[in-house]
Amino acid sequence: MRKRRHTFPTGKRLAMTAVMAGLFSAGAWAEGAAEAATPTLDSGNTAWMITATALVLLMSIPGIALFYGGLVRQKNVLSVIMQTMLIVGVISILWVAVGYTWAFGTGFKESGSALFAVMGGLDKAFLNGITPSTLTPAGIPELVFVMFQCMFALITPALILGAFAERIKFKGYMVFIILWTVLAYFPMAHWVWGGGFLQEMGAIDFAGGTVVHINAGISALVMALMIGKREDYKAGHPVTPHNITFVFLGTSFLWLGWFGFNAGSGLAADGIAANALMVTHVATATAAVVWMAIDWLFNKKPTTVGACTGAVAGLVAITPAAGSTDLLGAFCIGLITPIVCFFMVAVVKPKFKYDDALDAFGVHGIGGIVGSILTGVFATRCITGDGGAEGALYGDWHQLWIQTVATLVSVAFSAAFTFVLYKIVDRLVGIRVDKRVEEEGLDIYEHGESAYN
């Protein structure tokens, strides 16, 4: 007997066909959505980010090395250069080993651990799982992002050395900087950029107002207070820089490198990068001119060191706001910041008689605080887009409050941690050089070299 083939009535066949078509369409849509969610290599963004990374490295060597090296006396210029080189070498190793995973790892997030609020995890230690084909959502290789963020980890501790220049042991400095970077910079980078609690709170820090400048500037002040004044320091009588040409060259490298610092922080070659480039330059130019004018007014002469200091103050202050403010904000930040920083350097420092040797706190710490708070004033949706952050000037006072809280958290954390760390390192290896070494110069005693023979 022949088996009878089972058939559906016509209506059911049509219904089944429709269901199967729908399932096929849904599957095709899901596959397409998955493909869309998978980033593809963007050669334009990649090329720009490699360039930006090189520009940020330019800020440390030679930027900071020449800027700070020119400001100290001839007998101590090599000590500054060596301190900068130490940072570039040692911190680079620490970053790829534990820094990147601490700041940008996702192991704790994926496990549901509450520790993700303060640390990313150990899933990317020694760049575990990252290959040349691993891409970020912006379509750039993750290795490029690793190196871009490495440059930020280098420049931050380099800023601190300006506060205690000419009187610190190289050995003590090395131990302090290593511990400070691991235990102060790495956590702060995660809190603000890696998904930590300050980022979740909505704090805006486009390129490092809290993470870099407040963090380093407050630590610089604490270090200056604890290590004490130089033996020949007289309040109100700054030490004459040994090479102002170096100061100018260092400022020039910083200004150039800062375009990578700020314009690269959007991780794409797009309109936000273009805006960051523009506001960075305008704020810096404004700050340089304003500081020069104040110098001229109060000291009767416009000085090269003053104009360079003003430019650096402008670069610092626009950093957190570069991705959220427009031309108006750039002008205002460039106008306000040098006034506040000049007051701190020329009035407050002599009054309280602390020896912030190269004004790391007065420029980077105060500039970072001013810039972070003013971000909450001048952020505008014409830059951040619909639904983006907006500052108090445009009606959102809540953003100003968030910026203030983030600033206070950064100040408190940096101050408290640096105080404790100084005590520990000083007890372990000692931090301040002997009086004779300070008098005759760190270059010969600490490094066995002289810059000018």
List CB contacts of 208: < 8 A, sequence separation 6 or more: 152, 156, 261, 265, 319, 320
Within 95-185, residue ranges assigned H as helices are 100-104, 107-110, 142-160, 170-180
Instruction: Give the pLDDT score at 38.
Output: 82
Q: Is the dihedral of CA 80, 83, 89, 92 positive or negative?
A: negative
Instruction: Give the pLDDT score at 19.
Output: 38
Instruction: Give the pLDDT score at 234.
Output: 82
Amino acid identity of 446? E
Instruction: Give the pLDDT score at 279.
Output: 98
Smallest Cα–Cα separation from 218: which of 425, 407, 430? 407
pLDDT in tens, 356-370: 999 999 999 999 999
Instruction: Give the pLDDT score at 181.
Output: 97
| Weakly modelled stretches of the chain, pLDDT under 50 | 1-36
